[in-house]
Amino acid sequence: MKKMMLFKAAILCVVMMAFGLSLTACGDDETVTEVVANDRQTINMTYSVSLSDNWYKYFNIEVTYTGAGAVQSETLDMDWKMNFSIPAANEPDEYVFSVVAKPKAGVELDPEVESYELPVNISAEVSAVKADGSADDSYGFYKSDNGSKTLSAASMAEYIKEEHSIFSFSEKVEE
């Protein structure tokens, strides 16, 4: 019986030594650094249209732009700005932005006015933000048109009979 007790005690000692050695292997002496990817996280889009009153008085102004998930269209009756953000995972295949002036029916020119100013200030900007909040300088674009034209009353009478593309662009996303 003594031999059996000694045998059990020896087995218990071996098991305790193995357990003790395994605990020392779990020490805190190793530093594990977690690598966090700083990938593109958010895409920001800003579209802006600023036109003179003459544009809105004589034309229906239609904008078409890449929005959250699809191409969207709106008819404007005053200056307009649209800002929104989408997750980078939902990035569109192509960005589009156009501003078209379509003649309004039944609108007469003022006989007292000799010339008409038609200034435009239109812009589109797309940018991206990384996971750490910094700007992704490798992504995005800025397109704009700032200018003005002056038309005589006779030229304006002809000008308001036709549709005009004031601003238009499309930009495919490179993969």
How many domains is the chain built from?
A: 1
- The pTM of this model reads 0.75
The answer to whether residue 8 is domain-embedded is no
Domain-embedded: residue 85: yes
Q: Judge whether 21 lies within some domain.
A: no
Q: In sequence order, what are the residues at sequence separation of 6 or more whose Cβ sits closer than 8 angstroms to the Cβ of residue 69?
A: 86, 90, 92
**Contact status, residue 165 vs residue 100, Cβ threshold 8 Å:** yes
Q: What is the mean pLDDT of residues 52-77?
A: 94
Query: Residue 137: how many CA atoms within 13 Å on its side-chain side?
Result: 0
Kindly state the percentage of the chain with pLDDT values over 90.
Answer: 69
Provide the b/e sequence for 96-115 (b: ≥16 CB within 10 Å): bbbbbbeeeeeeebeeeeee
Q: 126: domain range?
A: 40-172
Residue 67 lies in a domain: yes
Q: Structure tokens of 17?
A: 């030594």
The DSSP annotation for 76-138 comes to: ESS-EEEEEEEEGGG--SEEEEEEEEEEPTTPPPPTT--EEEEEEEEEEEEEEEETTS-EEEE
* 3 state SS of 162: coil
- Kindly state the percentage of the chain with pLDDT values over 70: 79
Mean pLDDT computed over every residue of the chain: 87
- Confidence grade of residue 173 (pLDDT, cut at 50, 70, 90): confident
Location of structure tokens 């192509």: 94
**Of the given ranges (44-48, 89-93, 99-103, 123-127), which has the lowest mean pLDDT?**
89-93
Q: What is the mean pLDDT of residues 36-63?
A: 93
Q: Which positions ≥6 away from 143 have C-beta within 8 Å?
A: 97, 123, 124, 125, 169, 171
Nearest Cα neighbor of 44 from 90, 99, 93 is 90
Of 18-32, 50-64, 106-120, the one with minimum mean pLDDT is 18-32
In a domain, 5, yes or no: no
Within-domain flag for 99: yes
